[in-house]
Chains A and B, each alone.
Chain A
Amino acid sequence: GQNIDQPTEMTATEGAIVQINCTYQTSGFNGLFWYQQHAGEAPTFLSYNVLDGLEEKGRFSSFLSRSKGYSYLLLKELQMKDSASYLCAVRARSGGYQKVTFGTGTKLQVIP
C-alpha cells in the first residue's frame, strides 16, 4: 500500500513564502503530483516530478527526493487567492497497473 503524509493545515501571510511538505512510502514509485483545490471545485494541476530536484513554475516550485520519499511545494509571493487545499499525489505501479493516490491535503490559509 501507500502512505502519504501532509500537514493538515497551514497559515501564512500575504506576500510571504510557504513550504508544504509531503512524505510518502510506496513501492513502484512513478512520479509525484501537486494539485490545488478550492472548496467545491475540482483539483487543478500544479506540478509533476519524476526525477530528483527542483522544478520551478512562476510562483510555484516543487521539489522531489526519491531516496527520502519526500517532496515539497513552495509558494512564493503569496496572494489571498492562494488560500486553498494543496494535494500531494503519488503515482505508483501496483500489480501490473498504475494508480494515483492522494494524501489528505493541506489546507492553506493566507492572511493579510
Chain B
Amino acid sequence: GAVVSQHPSWVICKSGTSVKIECRSLDFQATTMFWYRQFPKQSLMLMATSNEGSKATYEQGVEKDKFLINHASLTLSTLTVTSAHPEDSSFYICSAALVVGYGNTIYFGEGSWLTVV
C-alpha cells in the first residue's frame, strides 16, 4: 500500500532554534499534503494544507511565519518550526492524499515528536 515517510521521528532542540520536518510520499505522487499537530490525549488539529507548487493554506490561529511549509515537489513537503519555544513541543504529523478513480485515501506519516528545551 501507499507509504508516507516522515523524518525525523524524534527531535530535541534548544529554544530559539529552528527545526525542519520532512514528509515524503514514497510510492505515489501527492498533490496535497496536510500537516497536523496533536497534543497528548487530544485529537489531530489541522495546521495547514500544502499544495504542490503553491503557498500553503493555513488554518485560523496558525502563525504562517512560525510554521513554514514548503511543498516543492509531488513527493515532498516540509514543515519548519522557526524560533521554537517550549510551547511548540508536540507531536507533528503529516498526511498525503492519494486519489485513485473514485477512491480517496489519506495516508499518514509516522509522526515527529518535537521537544523544545
Instruction: Tell yes or no: A70 within 8 A of B by CB.
Output: no
Instruction: Tell yes or no: A75 within 8 A of B by CB.
Output: no
How many residues from A make CB contacts under 8 Å with B? 24
Which residues from chain B contact A104 at a C-beta distance below 8 Å?
A: 42-43
Which residues from chain B contact A35 at a C-beta distance below 8 Å?
A: 108
| CA A75 to CA B102, docked complex, whole Å | 25
How many residues from B make CB contacts under 8 Å with A? 25
Q: Is the interface of A mostly helix, strand, loop or mixed?
A: strand
**Residues 102-116 of B contacting A (Cβ, < 8 Å):** 102-111
Of B46, B59, B106, B111, the most chain A CB neighbours within 10 A belong to B106
B31 to chain A minimum Cβ distance, whole angstroms, is 10
Instruction: Tell yes or no: A43 within 8 A of B by CB.
Output: yes
Instruction: Tell yes or no: B62 within 8 A of A by CB.
Output: no
Q: Tell which of A89, A97, A101 touches B51, judged by Cβ atoms closer than 8 Å.
A: A97
28 A-B residue pairs with CB within 8 Å: A35-B108, A42-B93, A42-B110, A43-B93, A43-B108, A44-B108, A45-B106, A45-B107, A45-B108, A48-B103, A48-B104, A48-B105, A87-B43, A87-B44, A91-B104, A95-B57, A97-B32, A97-B49, A97-B57, A99-B34, A100-B97, A100-B106, A102-B36, A102-B43, A102-B45, A102-B46, A103-B43, A104-B43
Return the 3 tightest CB-CB contacts between A and B, nearest first.
Answer: A105-B43, A42-B108, A102-B44
Q: Residues of B at under 8 Å CB distance from A?
A: 32, 34, 36, 42-46, 49, 51, 57, 59, 93, 95, 97, 102-111
